[in-house]
Amino acid sequence: SVFLNLVHMVKREEGDGPIIVHCSAGIGRTGTFCVVHSIVKMLNKHVAEHQEMPPINVVSTVLHMRKQRPGMVQTHDQYMFCYTAIGEEYLKLKMSLAPPSWYPYKLVK
C-alpha cells in the first residue's frame, strides 16, 4: 500500500534521532502513523533477528503511546486503519518466511 511505502521510506531515512510527525491536533492521524510505524519497525526487526513472527498487540501499543501523549488514535476508523496496515505487513513478512506452496508469486523483500 502507499501508506506502508511511506512507513518504509521513513524507516530507511531514520538517523540517530527521532522522527517528527504532526497533524492538526497531533493525536489522531499522527497517532495512527506512529502506531503503524512502531509495530512495523518491531515486526521487521524481530523477523530479521529470529526468523519467526512475533506476537503483536495494537491496543497495548496505543495505550503505551497514550501515556506519553493522551488521545493517540482517536476514532474507530483510525483503529481499523492500524489493523489493516499492520495486517498487510504481517502477512507480507509471514509469507516471506515460508510462502505456501500454492502461492503463485515470488515475494520480493
- Residues acting as catalytic residues: 23
Q: How many residues does this entry show for the chain?
A: 109
Determine whether 17 is exposed, middle or buried from the number of CB atoms within 10 Å of its CB (0-12, 13-18, 19+). exposed
- Return d(Cα 7, Cα 81) in angstroms, integer: 14
Q: In the chain, how many H helices and how many E strands?
A: 4, 0
Longest alpha-carbon distance in the chain: 47
**Residue written as cell 505487513?**
89
